[in-house]
Amino acid sequence: FWDFFILFFCLPVVIFNEITKKRLLGDVSCRIVPFMEVSSLGVTTFSLCALGIDRFHAATSPQASARPIEQCQSIIAKLAVIWVGSMTLSVPEILLWQLAQDTSPVSGLVTEYCTMKPSSNLPESVYSLVLTYQNARMWWYFGCYFCLPILFTVSCQLVTRRISSTEKKTECRGTKHSQCESHLNCTIIGLTIIYGLCTTPENVCNIVVAYMSPDMSKQTLDLLNLINQFFLFFKCSVTPVLLLCLCRPLGQAFMDCCCCCCEGCSPDTASSEGSADSKLKTEMSSSIFFDKPRESPPPLLALGTPC
């Protein structure tokens, strides 16, 4: 949802600015767009960490098949912590950016651009904090939004694989369950690889700009910033598709929802039976994904249609 939010709001603003050289929504977009982009990095970072912890708990559980189902309220609480924490850490971006104007030496037209410069109208204590954040922003990006998710995911995967290899022949972990666990671990690794590849250019550009900005022209800095935003939009576009393709229960549920909406929620009897069978398969596969008890499959009569 956050990736969709980035593409829906930030992408049109960036395209409009590149075409017209005018900032859509003016100073508001200069502050909100960086805030949302950094929040997106935080949401992805902490989500990958939470997924790594969940896979570690699944691997270290004494009886994975009898693991209790996590309540929806607990999942919503975790998502709220991730979102609120990411947005709180991104608040300095609102105070760091502001709108500026410049006259083009070629065309003579006045162009608008966003500059990373705290406003002098801020209180002295807030101004000093924002200035400190600006000086440490490059290493904060590199440490929290790049090294943390990659190292955390790699560490969790190594520990999980070591535990899984030592307990591979136990009775509580069947072959089917081990395959599903391996498939879910590959999904998390794929998400981490996409995230690492898309954030590497931004971190490299930040380091280059931090040490070579006096020797670089404004056009070069704008080009580097545009490249960074392109990779962010690419990540936001690829991540949901990759998740739906690799996570079969989630992808099947998404396809059932789309088919239900396309058919107008009025399938015939044959399609109802087919959808019931497909939902039964989805329930059984998703029970492995969410570590539900698998002693007895749910009855067909209680399923109905996906609607």
Q: Which residues contact 22 (CB under 8 A, 6 or more apart)?
A: 16, 111, 112
pTM: 0.73
Position with higher pLDDT, 104 vs 187: 187
Half-sphere exposure (Cβ direction) of 248: Cα atoms closer than 13 Å: 17
Position with higher pLDDT, 176 vs 125: 125
Would you say the C-alpha torsion 211, 216, 222, 227 has a positive or negative sign? negative
Q: Is pLDDT above 60 for 280?
A: no
Q: Is pLDDT above 80 for 286?
A: no
Q: Is pLDDT above 90 for 84?
A: yes
Of 170, 156, 178, nearest to 62 by C-alpha is 170
Mean pLDDT of the chain: 75
Q: Which residues contact 89 (CB under 8 A, 6 or more apart)?
A: 38, 42, 144
Domain map (residue ranges) of the chain: 1-61+70-168+183-208+218-243
Average pLDDT over residues 109-124: 79
Write down the pLDDT at residue 291: 45
CATH 3.40.605.10 fits 1-61+70-168+183-208+218-243, yes or no: no
Q: Give the pLDDT band of residue 108 (cuts 50, 70, 90).
A: low
Q: How many Å is the maximal CA-CA distance in the chain?
A: 76
Tens digits of per-residue pLDDT, 41-59?
A: 999 999 988 888 887 777 7
Take residue 261 and report the two structure tokens written for it.
């909406």
Tens digits of per-residue pLDDT, 131-174?
A: 888 888 888 888 889 888 888 888 888 887 777 666 555 544 45
Q: Give the pLDDT band of residue 81 (cuts 50, 70, 90).
A: very high
